[in-house]
Structure 1
C-alpha cells in the first residue's frame, strides 16, 4: 500500500518532525521465518526429553519418563522419498504420536499394524456432527476415540493444553493399567509398581484433521513445544521432516509463537516456585522468599548498586540506542 503524508502534521509541536511517512494500513506482526532445514534427503534432527525444559506444574518428572521412555526421537529428511500420495497417509511424528488426515483413521489395517490405541480428531466446532464414522470404526477395534472442537483462531491456544492433557492422560493410563502392584507380588515388600516387559503394550496416539496439515499439525507442534521444550521454529522444522506436506501460514506461526511465550513464562514461574518450595522445606522459615522487596533494595537497584542493579540496567537498555525514532526535533532532522 502506498505511503501517505500525515493528515495531522499540524498537531505536531513546533520544531518536531516525523522521520518516516505514514501508512493507512493497520499494524501487522513481524514475519516469522522457518528456514528449510534440508532438501537432500540426508538430513536428520534429534530431540531428547528433559525435565529441565518443561513446565513442572503441567507434567511430573516421573510422568515425562513414562510417556517418552527417555528415548531420543529422530526425524529424517523425507524430501527425496516423499510422494504426493503420501499426504493421504499418516506419518509418525514421535514413536508414540502419529499425524495424518481423517482418512488414515478409517484404515483398520493401518491402525492395527501400527498399534494405535487412541485417535484424537481435531475439527471445526461448526462440524461437530462430522467424523462420527471415525469413532464407530475405532470402537469396533477397541481403540479409544476423542474429538477436540476448535471454534476459530481465538480458540486454538486454549485448545492446546486440552489436547496435550488428553494425549498424556491416555498414555499414562495405558501404562498404569498394565502395571503390577509389587504389594500383590510375592517376595516384593513395597507398594511400587513394575511392568511386565514381555507383555507390555505402549500407548500410541493418532492426531488427525481433515487434511492432517492444519489443526492437527498445530496440536502436534504444540505438543513438541510443551513436552520436549522445542521452540516454535524447531517444532515446525521437526514436523516438516516427518510429514513433508505440513505447512504453517503466518497466522498459525504467530499463534504458535504466542503459545511459546506462554509456556516459557509458565515454565520459569513454576520452576522458581518449586525451587523456592524446596528451599522452604530444607531451611524452614529461613528459606522463605520475601513476597515484597524492601524499599532499600529498590533504591539500590535504581542507583546502580546492590543485587538488583543489573536487572535495572538491562531494563533501561530497551529505551536506549534504538535504531528508529518516529519523531525528532527540527535541529536533529536537518542532520539526516
Structure 2
C-alpha cells in the first residue's frame, strides 16, 4: 500500500548553457532558472525590453507587486504576453503561501501549452472532438515565462523556489541553492523563508491525498473516526468509573 502511494517527481532538467560568473550588473537582467522559466527584476520587463523578451521566446509573465507599486510596476505587454498579476507585499508577515498554487498552475500551463496559441487550445477543449483536441495540443509549442517583482530578489524568488520544491520534490535549501546558482542576488525575507520551509510538508500532504484512491481515503477517515470514538468511549468510561467511586464513598 505504501508503494502505491509513494510520490514520484520528475528529475530537475538541466540548462545546456554554462553558468556565467555572477557580476553585479546582472541583477538588472533576467536569468533562466529552468528551461523556459526566467526570474528577474521589473527592469527586465520594461517597455524598452520587448525585443529582448520576444527574442528569448517569452510568452507568459508573472508580475509581482504591491498595490502602492502599481503606478510604476505594470503589465506593459498585455496584448503580447499572458499575465498573472499578484498583489504581494515584501513583508515578513505577508502570507505568500496562498499564492503558490495559482503561480504553479500558471507556470505549468505556460510550459505545457505555450503562449497565444494556447488560447485556441483551451477553446477547442470544449468540443467533443478529441481527435481535433489532440492535434491542436501537439501543434502548440511550449511557452516561456518570466517571473518578476521589483528587484527580483525576495517575492518573485520565493515564488520560483516554491515552484521548484513542489514540481520536483525538492527541499527548501536545495531549491534555494539551485535558484541562487543562476541568480546570485536572491534573498527572500525571513518570513518568506519560514513559509517556504513549512511548505514542504504542505505540498507533500496535498499530493499524497491526491494520489490516494477513494477507498484508501475512506479507510483513512474510518480509522480516524474509530480512534475518536474509542477516545470518546474511554472518556465516558472514566466518567462512569469516577461516578461509581463518588457513590461508593457516599454510601460508605
Scaled by the length of structure 1, what TM-score is found?
0.54
Question: Does 2:49 align with 1:119?
Answer: no
Asked if the contact 2:96–2:192 (Cα under 8 Å) also holds between the matched residues in 1, the reply is no
Question: Does 2:7 align with 1:52?
Answer: yes
Larger radius of gyration: 1
Q: Which 4+ residue blocks in structure 1 deviate beyond 6 angstroms?
A: none
SS at match of 1:92: strand
Higher relative strand content? 1
Over the aligned positions, Cα root-mean-square deviation in angstroms equals 3.6
Residues 1:261 and 1:196: Cα distance change in structure 2 (over 3 Å)? closer
Residues 1:271 and 1:82: Cα distance change in structure 2 (over 3 Å)? same
SS at match of 1:52: coil
Q: Deviations over 1:85-114 (max 9, x none)?
A: 111110011112100010111211210110
5+ long unaligned stretches in structure 1: 1-50, 55-69, 281-286, 300-336
Give the corresponding residue for 1:97.
Answer: 37
Residues 1:196 and 1:123: Cα distance change in structure 2 (over 3 Å)? closer
Question: Does 2:94 align with 1:154?
Answer: yes
Q: 1:177 Cα deviation (Å)? A: 4.7
Residues 1:232 and 1:201: Cα distance change in structure 2 (over 3 Å)? same
Give the corresponding residue for 2:199.
Answer: 259
Give the corresponding residue for 2:242.
Answer: none
Higher relative helix content? 2
Q: 1:210 Cα deviation (Å)? A: 1.1
SS at match of 1:154: coil
Question: 1:12-91, aligned counterparts within 5 Å?
Answer: 52-53=7-8, 72-74=12-14, 78=19, 81-91=21-31
5+ long unaligned stretches in structure 2: 1-5, 232-252
SS at match of 1:193: helix
Scaled by the length of structure 2, what TM-score is found?
0.69
Give the corresponding residue for 2:72.
Answer: 130
Q: 1:145 Cα deviation (Å)? A: 2.7
Q: 1:269 Cα deviation (Å)? A: 2.8
Q: 1:235 Cα deviation (Å)? A: 0.6
